[in-house]
Amino acid sequence: MYDYHLHTSFSDDAETPMNEIIEAAIAAGLDGIALTDHFDPLYPDEDFPCLLDIRGYETALTAAKERYADRLPVAKGIELGLMPGEALNICRDVVRGYDFDFVIASIHSDKKHCIHQDSFHKGRTLAQIIERYYSLLLDSITTYKDYDVLGHLNVIDRYTKGFAPEDLYMPYVDEILRLAIADGKGIEINTSAFRYGLAKRGTPTPAILRRYRELGGELVTIGSDAHRARDVGAFLEEGEAMLRAAGLRRIAVYMNRKPALIKLPE
Ligand SMILES: [Zn+2]
Ligand SMILES: [Zn+2]
């Protein structure tokens, strides 16, 4: 079992020190993890600016990877908050300038509003919200390619009133998946959906996961998106079940920005 989406106190919205997250993963009997703290340049929320002490973070990652090497493989990861425009240049410089094993690309905001804030949704119909969110993602990955997997692809579903029907979101998702696959990129199963009561919906939805496979994609990581020790490794089995249901039998893990596929137990 591999948990490839974990936050530590280096993230603005988490408080658990890195070593406690790693110890929790060892206690849970995991086979490998990626630490993926937030880096969202130009993030518009002043209370949680999502700035990252990138130098301190990378130094701590390197030390932790070495310290735990004989107990748990730790991938040095980062979760980028993409946004079309200047933020992409900042992301590019950071990913190039430091030695990461694994990079998640997510959308958390546009230039003015975070997707979880009312202001992102106010005055927009569901169709407009869906269009806005997926356009931010598609526009970002059309120019920005230095990432490994797309994080919580349909996370907007967590914040809309009612879920968008498949015929509303799938045209956007289809285009995003085609581009990601053509670029050799993966997607993730983010099992926080099970914690947030979105289990029936899923991140991604079963339809998205199936579509990714139909289009030829085979790189899928699973991550809890834990922000505290007790959620480390949570619902990974449910994540594996989602993968099987979509007709996939292997999960992806990354080191040195290169994927390896690991067969699920029979
Ligand atoms: Zn995220
Ligand atoms: Zn996250």
**70-79 tens-digit pLDDT:** 999 999 999 9
136 versus 200: the higher-pLDDT residue is: 136
Query: Which ligand has the nearest atom to the CA of 11?
Result: 2
Give Cβ neighbours of residue 197 (< 8 Å, ≥ 6 apart). Answer: none
Q: What does the pLDDT read at residue 197?
A: 76
Whole-model pTM?
Answer: 0.97
Residue 106, pLDDT above cutoff 90: yes
Judged by DSSP in three states, 17 sits in: coil
Q: Which protein residues have their CB within 5 A of the ion that is ligand 2?
A: 79, 225
The Å distance, Cα 247 to ligand 2 centre, comes to: 26
Q: Residue 123's pLDDT band (boundaries 50, 70, 90)?
A: very high
Which strands form 74-81's sheet, in the order they lie side by side? 2-6, 32-39, 74-81, 102-106, 149-150, 186-190, 220-223
**Residue 161 C-beta-side C-alpha neighbours within 13 Å:** 9
Give me the pLDDT at residue 49, please: 76
Ligand nearest to the CA of 3: 2
CA 164 to ligand 2 centroid distance, Å: 22
Q: Considering the chain, what is the average pLDDT of its residues?
A: 96
Q: Given a cut of 80, is residue 52 above it in pLDDT?
A: yes
Q: Which domains does the chain have, with CATH numbers?
A: 2-263 (3.20.20.140)
Ligand 2 center to 192 CA (angstroms) = 9
> Is 49 or 5 the better-scoring residue by pLDDT?
5
**Dist. CA 65 → ligand 1 center (Å):** 23
Quote the pLDDT of residue 265.
85
pLDDT at 48: 76
Tens of pLDDT along 173-216? 999 999 999 999 999 999 999 998 787 899 999 999 999 999 99
Whole-number pLDDT of residue 198: 80
